[in-house]
Structure 1
Amino acid sequence: MEMNKALFLDRDGVINVEKNYVHKIEDFVFIEGIFELVQFFRKKGFKIIVITNQAGIARGIYTEDDFEKLNSWMLSEFEQRDARIDEVYYCPYHPENGIGEYKKDSYDRKPNPGMIFKAKEKYNLDLADSWLIGDKVSDIQAGINAGVGNNILLNTYSATEKDKIKDQKVQIFTNLQEILNYAKNCIKGLREKSKLKIAILTLAGFPEGMAVTNRVFYYAKGLQENGAEVEVIIVKPTEKADNIINRYRKGVYKGVSFRYAVSGPVRSRNFIKRRIDDIFGPVIASFKVVKGNYNVAMYIGNNSFYHPMVFKAVLYPFGIKLFVERTELMFHNKRKTGIFKIFNKILEKVVYKNLDGFFTISDSLLNEYSKLVSRKCRITKVPVVVDAQEIYKPEIKRTRNLVYTGPLIDKKDGIINIIRSFNMIAKNYLDIDLILTGDINATPDKNRILDEIKNSEYQNRIKLLGFISRQEMINLMNTACALLLAKPSGEQADTCFPTKLGEYLSTGNPIVITKTGEIPQYLKDGISAFIAKPDDLESFTTKIKELLDDPLKAEEVGKEGKKVAQMNFNYFEVMGKVLNIVNSII
């Protein structure tokens, strides 16, 4: 596998104006030229890595939470300027002036190369072909110790730094514009790597939507950041004329390009026109993949037989590989009579036997679908994927509210038990509200939900927000005292894995869930989540009370849950493995 290059940046003195232990947003001033510098290196295929000593944490001047809050804001500022930073590593220790656990000599503290080596391992970096910019000798020495090939001193604030490294092979400049000009001259002939072109096909609305939309986004984002060229193609119109959420036929959302294959995102009011879009949408989408010279198409979403069959029929003559993802059981396991029996046979005998690759979200589903695909088809488990950096918002004030986000479907998420649990505890926790999101008009349980709320003594404390935008959802989850999911037992829960779980955990807030499917593989009760028995109202209610009665324990559980998400569901790492699989088949 071809190795990546990186631009390593110190923070204070390179990204922002050096002040005494900057840890507040109002004190953070970007150095002129930093965004243009990052934009240039990104276009040349470099990973952007920040490595920073944070002795202010060790000295007790500010906390790691203070640092994370400022860091989240800083990263969003870069993101908004199309200058995304891939990773920030920081060392909170000091060997002499640290307090308590922060007093130690860490291998991560520059001039030691620990942080650089961590980035090398995660991003498969060729350090000899990478660059480092720092404003102190310790920065430069870290680069030299790690074997970074191009080390640059930004000699703005300390005239003595230059003399300390005069015998080293280090370039010295006085501002970022000089460094940018130098970089352009050095790598002006560098061509960007030939990229694998991947089209993600979906029936879900984009960029706003539910679980499938979010999964499509993380697939696209992760594959793109691992070096592929990616576009999301929505196969047919998704929006009802009287409830339009996605309005644009094409665009770019957080760096991900998308377009609707046919007339646009809004469905026709004419029945015949809708059926025409249903039938010809997949055909048109397939030929857009061909015309776009894509190497690979990935179909993520609906469990139909027609769409993958059309995709394979159109793409196969052009040598375009087709991968399909399934996160739920197929018709075969749900409906076995009538027309569905015919659909199942087509899926089994025609569609699945001719796929190039297959992704699914759990071991149970992997076992089921392994029986259907051909031996030549590479079938792989792809777990929940999430960008914790996007989800975690420490600057948002936490409240005492209980929050659920999702489709409001009882057989999937146990929404009725969530409402009933709240009714059982509301009397003793007067400062807590229950907040529910999701389109009430789209759920088959609409009447049951409304009746539960109407008959509740605490109906004024149960808030139905309806469908909200993704950013609103992220902000809401971050306000939660606890995030709730009461999946009942059953075939769906036992074989699938809740995609929202990755986002719940990434907030750092504690979650209350039920022990279904593969959840116990990742989470432990009282350690990284509060886990109740499925279909047991009393058990679920007890777990909510346990969380509310011990805020300190709840906080620790939330932190541990966030670590689980970072270790297992990191979109970049998961999609890097997916891309390796795709490359092995192409």
Structure 2
Amino acid sequence: MLNLIFLGGFDYPHGMAGTRRIQNAINGLKGHPNISIQVIVLRQSSKKNSLAGVHHDITYETVMGDLFGYKLVFSMPLLYWRTRRKIHHLFKQGQSNVLYVYGPSSFDNSSAINYARGLGYKIIFDIVEDHEHAYHISKRLMHHAKIRHIRRLSRLALSKAHGIVVISSHLENKILSLTSGAVPIHKLSISIDMALYPKPYVKRDNSIHLLYGGSFGEKDGIPVLLNAFNELASKRNHVKLVLTGQGDDESMRILHGCIEASPFKNRISYRGYLDDNSYYQVLQEADILCMPRIDSEYAQAGYPFKLGEYLATGKPVIASSVSDLPKLLRNRKDAMLVTPGDSSAMAEAAGYLIDNPEQSRRIGESGRAIAKLKFDYREQGKDLYNFIHAIAASG
């Protein structure tokens, strides 16, 4: 019997990219025989989620709720103790115990990981970002302290891991080099549930709605998108922009400043953070979906989770050509790929899609076919299960 415990600082059961990645992994695994799954969330806000419960037949528990900022600093010993106690409680004698850690070893999970290894858990890390390049994405002191701590811990922790899951080719190559090939690596790209996108949406008006949904960090290139929209809106009166998602205080100030400075701000709608059902509805109602990542080492290392969701809708997607995207998507066939950071190229791509509706439809259909073939969690779950099972069975 495989006893699989997911551990991380992601929101659960409802949240953004990290939450959806973990949930899709769980959904792809839980149908296999002889496996039990539970989720330990280190800390999250009680305003977003219940701190404990059952979601999709999976039991989850938050170690400490509403633990952020300086409150976190003073409560670290208690967080360590409670996490270790929970991991000890979930360990099952006579079974194969695996701790699946979302993200790198950091100040809030390193104690628990070391304790779990000592108990007899096999440790698997799921790495989705390259924190070697993460210093510049925020000016906050807490962020810089966190990244320094992660960088110190990660190299040692990864070398002692029993297995590592990565989201991109960049991370696969980097970790292969760091571990000298001694640790098994499994590439798990972005994942989606195609059942959430069952039918094409029928337009109700003549407006063209561009949409961005996700985080608002520096890597996400929101000012680039807003500049592209301003250029497009100056020539087309029927174009509107819809934004949904969230970011830290610094990122949100930049977002609202860009909206306020736009001469077309009356055609920009910021919907805030949406629950899952509302978010998927907004995706289906959009005409063109935009992913304007910038060209930075940090952005190039990851793999934007939202891309899979965008493609699955069957709507045409405009995406910055970063990470593994050029290997996956054909420009003007499966998506419109543009130079990262180039707002004029993004505006031109949107104009092309608006002026060529039949080609736009074909691009959307082809992108959806790619999503179904490459990102469906059901297919990914088979390979992930085999990887975890092999790690659990190893000596």
What is the TM-score with the length of structure 2 in the denominator?
0.88
Q: Secondary structure in 1 aligned to 2:214?
A: coil
Deviation, 1:380, is 1.6
Deviation, 1:575, is 1.6
- 8 Å Cα contact 2:134-2:147 kept in structure 1: no
The separation in 2 between residues aligned to 1:339 and 1:256, in whole angstroms, is: 34
Q: Deviations over 1:75-100 (max 9, x none)?
A: xxxxxxxxxxxxxxxxxxxxxxxxxx
Select 1:412's aligned residue among 214, 219, 237. 219
The 1:431–1:258 alpha-carbon spacing in structure 2 relative to 1, beyond 3 Å, is farther
Equivalent residue, structure 2, for 1:558: 364
The separation in 1 between residues aligned to 2:356 and 2:312, in whole angstroms, is: 21
Equivalent residue, structure 1, for 2:54: 251
- 8 Å Cα contact 1:489-1:516 kept in structure 2: yes
The separation in 2 between residues aligned to 1:268 and 1:527, in whole angstroms, is: 45
Equivalent residue, structure 1, for 2:139: none
- 8 Å Cα contact 2:5-2:40 kept in structure 1: yes
The 1:207–1:391 alpha-carbon spacing in structure 2 relative to 1, beyond 3 Å, is farther
Please give the residue correspondences for 1:98-137 in structure 2 after superposition, counting only pairs within 5 Å. Answer: none
Please give the residue correspondences for 1:327-342 in structure 2 after superposition, counting only pairs within 5 Å. Answer: 327-331=128-132, 333-334=133-134
Equivalent residue, structure 2, for 1:271: 71
The separation in 1 between residues aligned to 2:152 and 2:257, in whole angstroms, is: 41
Q: Secondary structure in 1 aligned to 2:190?
A: coil
Equivalent residue, structure 2, for 1:230: 37
The separation in 2 between residues aligned to 1:470 and 1:427, in whole angstroms, is: 33
Deviation, 1:551, is 1.3
The 1:412–1:392 alpha-carbon spacing in structure 2 relative to 1, beyond 3 Å, is farther
The 1:491–1:291 alpha-carbon spacing in structure 2 relative to 1, beyond 3 Å, is same
Deviation, 1:472, is 1.0
Q: Deviations over 1:38-94 (max 9, x none)?
A: xxxxxxxxxxxxxxxxxxxxxxxxxxxxxxxxxxxxxxxxxxxxxxxxxxxxxxxxx
The separation in 2 between residues aligned to 1:285 and 1:518, in whole angstroms, is: 38
Deviation, 1:471, is 1.4
Deviation, 1:574, is 1.1
Equivalent residue, structure 2, for 1:283: 84
The separation in 2 between residues aligned to 1:380 and 1:360, in whole angstroms, is: 6
The 1:376–1:404 alpha-carbon spacing in structure 2 relative to 1, beyond 3 Å, is same
- AA paired with 1:420? N
The 1:280–1:391 alpha-carbon spacing in structure 2 relative to 1, beyond 3 Å, is farther
The separation in 1 between residues aligned to 2:307 and 2:216, in whole angstroms, is: 15
The separation in 1 between residues aligned to 2:279 and 2:288, in whole angstroms, is: 14
The separation in 1 between residues aligned to 2:68 and 2:134, in whole angstroms, is: 30
Q: Deviations over 1:344-388 (max 9, x none)?
A: 344323x12211100101111111111223644211211111111
The separation in 2 between residues aligned to 1:548 and 1:358, in whole angstroms, is: 43
2:101 paired with 1:299 = yes
- 8 Å Cα contact 2:28-2:382 kept in structure 1: yes
The separation in 2 between residues aligned to 1:338 and 1:299, in whole angstroms, is: 21
2:323 paired with 1:517 = yes
The separation in 1 between residues aligned to 2:323 and 2:292, in whole angstroms, is: 13
Deviation, 1:451, is 2.2
Deviation, 1:395, is 5.7
Select 2:278's aligned residue among 472, 475, 482. 472
- 8 Å Cα contact 1:235-1:285 kept in structure 2: no
2:118 paired with 1:310 = no
Equivalent residue, structure 1, for 2:228: 421
- 8 Å Cα contact 2:106-2:146 kept in structure 1: no
Q: Secondary structure in 1 aligned to 2:155?
A: helix
The separation in 1 between residues aligned to 2:90 and 2:312, in whole angstroms, is: 34
Q: Deviations over 1:268-304 (max 9, x none)?
A: 8992764445433532342243159662110113x34
Bigger Rg over Cα: 1
Deviation, 1:536, is 1.3
The 1:491–1:283 alpha-carbon spacing in structure 2 relative to 1, beyond 3 Å, is same
Fraction of identical pairs, as percent:
23
Q: Deviations over 1:389-441 (max 9, x none)?
A: 223443665763111001122x221101111111111243333321101236x
Please give the residue correspondences for 1:358-369 in structure 2 after superposition, counting only pairs within 5 Å. Answer: 358-369=164-175
Deviation, 1:251, is 1.9
The separation in 2 between residues aligned to 1:431 and 1:339, in whole angstroms, is: 45
The separation in 1 between residues aligned to 2:290 and 2:382, in whole angstroms, is: 30
Q: Secondary structure in 1 aligned to 2:341?
A: coil
- AA paired with 1:289? L
Equivalent residue, structure 2, for 1:262: 63
Q: Secondary structure in 2 aligned to 1:384?
A: coil
What is the TM-score with the length of structure 1 in the denominator?
0.60
Q: Secondary structure in 1 aligned to 2:14?
A: coil
Select 1:580's aligned residue among 374, 386, 390. 386
- 8 Å Cα contact 1:218-1:386 kept in structure 2: yes
The separation in 1 between residues aligned to 2:281 and 2:121, in whole angstroms, is: 40
The separation in 2 between residues aligned to 1:446 and 1:346, in whole angstroms, is: 30
Q: What 5-or-longer segments of structure 1 have no aligned partner?
A: 1-194
Q: Deviations over 1:162-198 (max 9, x none)?
A: xxxxxxxxxxxxxxxxxxxxxxxxxxxxxxxxx5231
Q: Secondary structure in 1 aligned to 2:11?
A: coil
The 1:268–1:401 alpha-carbon spacing in structure 2 relative to 1, beyond 3 Å, is closer
The separation in 2 between residues aligned to 1:372 and 1:556, in whole angstroms, is: 42
The 1:476–1:335 alpha-carbon spacing in structure 2 relative to 1, beyond 3 Å, is closer
- 8 Å Cα contact 2:4-2:98 kept in structure 1: yes
Q: Deviations over 1:546-584 (max 9, x none)?
A: 111111111110000001111111111112101111222
Please give the residue correspondences for 1:12-161 in structure 2 after superposition, counting only pairs within 5 Å. Answer: none
Question: Whose RCO is larger (CA < 8 A, sep 6+)?
Answer: 2
What is the RMSD computed on CA atoms of the aligned residues?
Answer: 2.7
